[in-house]
Amino acid sequence: MIGFMIRLWCDRYNMAINEFAELSGYDRKVVYRWIASESIPHNRSLRNIVDTFAHYAHWSNPTREAAFVKLLQLRETEVIWRKRRNKK
């Protein structure tokens, strides 16, 4: 879900995944793992993701904070789903 949001925002702002990785300071492989849902970014990484898009797209502070809260919620959901999947 977080990977979907990254891809959605990249598409919306005509930013390549490699460009996002470069601007955010994360290795390209890390970003692709997020997009493929192979790993879940930590809270600090979520803040960096939002800050990267906010800077690039000139988001207002309320938009920036709403995006961060949304990613936090998506992260929580992904963690719960992974725990459920691993119990089976």
CATH of the domain at 69: 1.10.260
86 vs 16, higher pLDDT: 16
Q: What is the mean pLDDT of residues 63-81?
A: 96
The string over 48-69, giving b where at least 16 C-beta atoms fall within 10 Å of a residue's C-beta and e elsewhere, is ebbbbbbebeebeeeebeebbe
Whether the pLDDT of residue 87 is over 90: the answer is no
Q: How many structural domains comprise the chain? A: 1
Whether the pLDDT of residue 34 is over 80: the answer is yes
Find the domain containing 37 and state its range: 2-87
Kindly report the length of the chain.
88
Whether the pLDDT of residue 88 is over 70: the answer is no
- Quick check: pTM over 0.85? yes
